[in-house]
Every structure is written in C-alpha cells, then in structure tokens.
Amino acid sequence: MPQTFKKVALVGKYDSLALAESVERLADFLSAHGCEVTLARQTAKTLDQPRYKQANLSELPTVAEVVIVLGGDGTMLSIARALAPYPVPLIGVNQGRLGFLTDITVDNMEAELARMLAGEYDAEQRILLAATLQHEDDTYEEGPAFNDVVVSKAATGRLIEFEVFIDNEYVYTQRSDGLVVATPTGSTAYAMSAGGPILYPTLEAIALVPICPHTLSARPIVVSSESRVDIIIKRADDARVHLDGQNYFELQKGDTVSICRMPNSVTLLHPRHYRYYDTLRQKLHWSRQI
C-alpha cells in the first residue's frame, strides 16, 4: 500500500518574494488538513511572519516524511542533490518555466497534494551522478549531479582536447567544446540541446553527448549506469567541469574527471494522472500544427 504523509516540509526557491505567497498559502492549507508543517529555514526568511516550525535543509529528512519543493527545475535540482543521502521523497510544484521535474501547477496544488498525501501517487526512482576531479598534485574535489556533469571550455572560446575512458577502456580522444555526461533526468536538458537522445527517466543508463565536436563522426553514446566514465584533460587553456550548471571547478591539463552513479537515488512522487510522454508533448511542443 502507498504510504500516506502527515509530516510535510516545504522548500521554496531562495530569495524569491514571488514564491512567498504560494508557500504560505500551501502551508496554511496543509495545516488546516491536519499536517505537521515544517519550513526550510531559508524559505521561511521570505515570509513576513512565518508561523510554522523551521529547520535547516539537512534537518528536514529527520522531521518530515515528504518534502514539497516550490519553484522551477533548477530549485528541484539543488534540493535533490542536497537531500540525496536521505530516503525522503520529493514532490515538485512548478513556478518556473519548463517544469520537467516540478509537474504540479500552483493553480491546482491544493487538490493535487491532498490526494497525493493521502496515498494517491506514483513513485519514481531517479539516479544521480557523483563526479570526482583529481588534479595532477593528487588533490581532489567532488560533488553530486542530478542532471549532468559537463566538461567544457570556459571564457576563451577555444576548443579543449580530452580522452574518454569507460570502465578503464579507452574510447576516443576528442577536440570539441566539451562533453555532457547526463542521467536520464538530464537527457531533456543540456544533453538534448547538444543533440543527445531522450532517455526514459527510470532507465539505468548514462548518456555521453559531445558538444560541437571538431569531427563529423562523433556521436552520442549510451552506457550502463554501472559504468565509470573518466575524462582526462589533454589540452585546455580555459576549461571547467559543471555539476547541473550550478556548481563548477576549474580544469587544467592533466586533470581527470571521474563520473559514476551515486549509491543513493532520488524518489520523485507524481500525481496518478502523470504521464511522461504527455509531459514531453507539452513541454517540447510535439504534434503541434503550424
């Protein structure tokens, strides 16, 4: 039987006064229907007089059974990365643009969430990536990614050159603007813009998509999510590795970026009527007559 939820945490896009009204409206609705509501501390700062219990983001999984994220896909990405170590499900309410990850609208959020908290939902497991950057001096930097890990040129505009290994097997040397290593979730983001395939969200797979390669034969490839991808920088006057387009590290010649699947997955909850292909048709304007 699906779990029902009474302890609910709300997280809104930080520093967004436009979201304050929606957060307060939803908190009041949930409280009136018997839920114990906790606000993320930074979200509470956007409200004039927050009347609800507050907790730091990392504390939410200890006080809530489900976390509702109000904002756009970017907000969901950052919250999913932060809460990935904890087995707490996430629900997205869209106040952004596309809304691939936040599929409930603000206009009908009360009715939708009332049904979902009562157990009428479908749960979906999404994989994340862990990226580790090893410098030539053997120092390390690391971080998680929900959408993608992108190795790319930075401000100079010059091509970078790198070698790609998958599970310690040499694949190719490439000169290009970079490479997107994407989860199925991220396959509808930068990877799609770079010509990569759309992967069904629950696939156990990772896509490698070149960005403007300096050859006509370079093509995206899809590998098992259990694979490890190593990218060794051979030439780069100015390069970076980006995690979900939100965090980044500078790259130098000789650096190695290693990418593998994180042991934890993110659980997203959707309304029962949610259909992934409906979302693709709507967001990507498929079947629209000109």
- Domains recognised in the chain with CATH numbers: 7-120+272-284 (3.40.50.10330), 128-263 (2.60.200.30)
Spatial neighbors of 255 by CB under 8 A, at least 6 apart, are 133, 134, 135, 136, 232, 233
- The CA distance from 158 to 155, in Å, is 8
CA-atom Rg of the chain in angstroms: 20
Residue 15 has a pLDDT of 67
Spatial neighbors of 132 by CB under 8 A, at least 6 apart, are 140, 141, 142, 257, 258, 259
Identify which of 115, 116, 80, 76 has the alpha carbon closest to the alpha carbon of residue 93. Answer: 76
Is there a contact between 256 and 137 (Cβ–Cβ < 8 Å)?
no
- The CA distance from 90 to 210, in Å, is 31
Spatial neighbors of 85 by CB under 8 A, at least 6 apart, are 264
Active-site residue (options: 15, 28, 48, 73): 73
Could you identify the residue written with the tokens 């694949």? 171
Could you identify the residue written with the tokens 């959020």? 109
Spatial neighbors of 75 by CB under 8 A, at least 6 apart, are 11, 12, 13, 69, 96, 102
73 is catalytic: yes
Residue 168 has a pLDDT of 97
Per-residue pLDDT tens, the chain, 290 aa: give them: 679 999 999 998 776 667 888 999 999 999 999 999 999 998 888 887 678 999 999 999 999 999 999 998 999 999 999 999 999 999 999 986 767 888 899 989 999 999 999 999 999 999 999 999 999 888 899 999 999 999 999 877 789 999 999 999 999 999 999 999 999 999 999 999 999 999 999 999 999 999 999 988 899 999 999 999 999 999 988 899 999 999 999 999 999 999 999 999 999 999 999 999 998 998 888 987 66
Pairing of strands 36-40, 7-12: parallel
Is there a contact between 208 and 219 (Cβ–Cβ < 8 Å)?
no
Predicted TM-score (pTM) of this structure = 0.93
